[in-house]
């Protein structure tokens, strides 16, 4: 419950800052952050109604994935796209019960590489491949 509540509060703070930017450029982030806050609030309310409260030691899948996405999104600014996306995709596949090592590794490489290819070559949105030190 604390994780879901923390994610909700982080989403509210980020949404507050997103509303201060230009309306055209910030439309998509505003929509994403609104959905983020709604999902985090729903998870918090579901955890409260379920009675798990603060003493529960188990974590739901969705708040853990939301936290991983938040960490990866912050890491993209300094590490590029591929380095944060590989562990994020691997964690997502692991949480969706893909536990065999070879399919997990291949799936991670295909999905993360495929996302980079989609953005870089199809949508023509240039994502940094590696570290943002000017190398790529």
Phi/psi class of residue 130: alpha, beta or left (left: φ > 0; alpha: ψ in -120 to 50)? beta
Indicate if the pLDDT at residue 18 is higher than 70.
no
d(CA 33, CA 53): 25
This prediction has a pTM of 0.61
Confidence class for position 135, pLDDT limits 50, 70, 90: very low
Higher pLDDT, 133 or 120: 120
| Torsional sign, CA 27, 33, 34, 36 | positive
Residue written as tokens 């509210």? Answer: 12
Q: What would the pLDDT profile of 41-59 be if each residue is shown by its tens digit?
A: 777 777 777 765 544 555 6
pLDDT one-digit tens code per residue, 62-87 = 778 878 888 887 787 778 888 888 99
> Closest Cα to residue 37, out of 69, 68, 5, 60?
5
């Amino acid at each position: 419950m604390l994780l879901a509540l923390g994610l909700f509060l982080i989403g509210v703070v980020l949404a507050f800052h997103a509303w201060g930017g230009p309306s055209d450029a910030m439309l998509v982030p505003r929509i994403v952050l609104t959905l983020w806050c709604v999902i985090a609030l729903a998870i918090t309310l579901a955890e409260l109604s379920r009675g798990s409260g603060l003493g529960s030691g188990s974590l739901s899948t969705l708040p853990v994935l939301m936290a991983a996405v938040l960490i990866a999104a912050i890491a993209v600014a300094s590490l590029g796209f591929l380095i944060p996306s590989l562990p994020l995709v691997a964690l997502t596949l692991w949480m969706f019960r893909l536990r065999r090592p070879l399919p997990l590794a291949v799936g991670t490489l295909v999905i993360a590489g495929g996302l980079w290819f989609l953005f870089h070559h199809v949508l023509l949105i240039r994502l940094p491949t590696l570290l943002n030190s000017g190398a790529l």
